[in-house]
Amino acid sequence: MTFCSREANAVLDRLKERCGFKSDRVLAAALGCGPTILSSWRHRNSVPYERLIDFAISNRLDLNWLFLGATSTDPAATVRGLLNEAAELQDGLLRIQKDLRRIEEETRLAVFSAGVAG
């Protein structure tokens, strides 16, 4: 399962900085993957959160800090942060669905117009 967000690169950058890794190649090795895999995570802006959680726990890193960019011992703050992230993702999905409906309608209209003209 992956964590998709416009913040995925920030998660990788926080992890790299906190662990003192000088390059993505070193970060990739620490995470047990090749540099091209890590590069694809950055390109897709999506990270495998299970792998990052396992790494963070084994290295005693704060998951709130890793994924949300802030340290918090307040569970309500963590939930609010996750709910905000979910709302942003849902908004993005709704925009994509709206665009898809528009494209489908434009395609139907173009096919109908081509059939009438032909």
**pLDDT at position 60:** 87
Q: 3-class DSSP state for residue 46?
A: strand
Could you read off the pLDDT of 11-54 as tens digits, one per residue?
A: 999 999 989 999 999 999 999 999 999 999 999 888 898 899 99
Contact of 71 with 64, CB cutoff 8 Å: yes
Question: pLDDT band at 1, cuts 50/70/90?
Answer: very low
8 DSSP assignment = H
pTM: 0.55
Report pLDDT digits (tens) over 65-111: 888 876 655 666 667 777 777 888 888 899 999 999 999 999 999 99
